[in-house]
Structure 1
């Protein structure tokens, strides 16, 4: 073999095969049907390590809860959603007359662009002025979020946390953000809905509420809702727990 052949073979070692970079998975879609029978189409990112490519059970149930209690919970209110994924609960808030909705997720370009896409394509134009999508890291400066409000000093009337408690290492950051964004009114509340997709870690999920109490919040369990199906049939653990959405409300003490 000549030296030229040697050099060519050596270079080939560092040449990626044609299938080395897997193509991006295409976006998928899901539907949410309101109580009135209106179908809301939602685009989901094709795949994301932050789990934004799924429409989670807690998002569906919190959306229905908002529909059932819109006049009390969101109409004419300022709303902040954390870890929103496709943003379904925020879209429902806008449809039910929220004053301002700030829908957030991790500042990943695909996630935030997808939220903006859903704002533009999932609800009528007349509601779009009330909702804005932003990237936000839990525990970071909240002023860019509050700056979206007419009066930033008042904070948000409603916070939405749907199926994000599985991030156990982030609980303290979430509570810090809650502390700095939840308005001071007696009606101000955080709606925290979750499913223990890993039932053996349920106690770690629930630790969030103990930390909330330690931070000065009052915690009230609203209800449990058992879904018809599990999201991940092949996963281990108690199936009933994996189908159950736990609904909590976190407020300032009265």
Structure 2
């Protein structure tokens, strides 16, 4: 099933000619895949067969030029992928693409390359999302039984306001297949939203939550190579120190493999006590392939179809 199949655009305004052109690109160029979705004038409806109701997602309208350059006012394919992995892992659904018509070769490739979905189980765990945007993976975690869910993004008022609206509206029992939200019943912070700039720990909340989370989410956060070290610093800061702690990093290649691959450099990760546990690539139709540091003839239409999925753990040897 296509990664985009669960997403519906809901227009809040009358469409203009540019909207009609954009919506027709998939017909004119069938190999072209949208990797960002919505804007402040168009909300999104996320529908899963495993949730009792669709999730209406609001998007931010950042006012400052620098804030808009962060592109947090879109939903990116990386967030869709991470949300599906969390859902499949926590509900024990198995592979997302184990359809009846899958051939044996495809199934064997997935078993060899991809991490088992059970690795993405958030039940009873604490999670934090960095650069959350719409917070879809975090909302999914709250609905599926995470005991604590923290959502963070750059501390721009419009971005945080949208996150709070999405979280307060959707992290509710009526959207959960369990009929309850465990995080709302606990005493460890519940479902919370905080402003956080990567690599910056100025406030009491950051100080109180060093190594406090079992799982760290980062979806489409690798397109700025100048922020890789700051992102590694924040992952290290919030991620637990035990052998079971993990960071799940999902990112697109839309800005080029050269721009995002440096995040996974061994020395850069090890400076923060991190190593890659598993890493692979998946396209928008669920096909998996091994991670490659370089690929020849990877034009923009091709690379927009692919995501990297990585699980980081603590380097407990050194």
Calculate the TM-score normalised by the size of structure 2: 0.63
Q: Indicate if the aligned counterparts of 1:26 and 1:45 stay in contact, CA closer than 8 A.
A: yes
| 1:186 and 2:258 are equivalent in the alignment | no
Secondary structure, counterpart of 1:69 in structure 2: helix
Match of 2:47 in 1: 33
Question: 2: CA distance between counterparts of 1:154 and 1:79?
Answer: 11
Inter-partner Cα distance in structure 2 for 1:103 and 1:198: 25
Q: What is the aligned-residue RMSD (CA, Å)?
A: 2.3
Q: How many residues align?
A: 217
The structural deviation recorded for 1:146 is 6.2
Using CA pairs below 8 Å that are at least 6 residues apart, which structure has the higher relative contact order? 2
8 Å contact kept, 1:146–1:155: no
Instruction: Quote the residue 2:303 is aligned against.
Output: 241
> CA contact under 8 A between 2:270 and 2:315: conserved in structure 1?
no
Deviating 4+ runs (over 6 angstroms) = none
Which ranges in structure 2 are unaligned for 5 or more consecutive residues?
1-38, 63-67, 91-117, 174-179, 185-189, 286-297
Q: How does 1:1-254 map to 2 (within 5 A)?
A: 26-36=40-50, 38-46=53-61, 48-70=68-90, 73-125=121-173, 126-127=180-181, 129=184, 130-141=190-201, 143-145=204-206, 147=208, 152=209, 155-199=212-256, 202-210=257-265, 211-227=268-284, 237-254=299-316
Distance 1:218 1:110, change over 3 A: same
1 CA distance for matches of 2:279 and 2:48? 21
Gaps of 5+ in 1: 1-24, 229-235
SS of the counterpart of 1:44? coil
Q: Which is higher, the Rg of structure 1 or of structure 2?
A: 1
Q: 1:143 to 1:192 in 2, by over 3 A?
A: farther
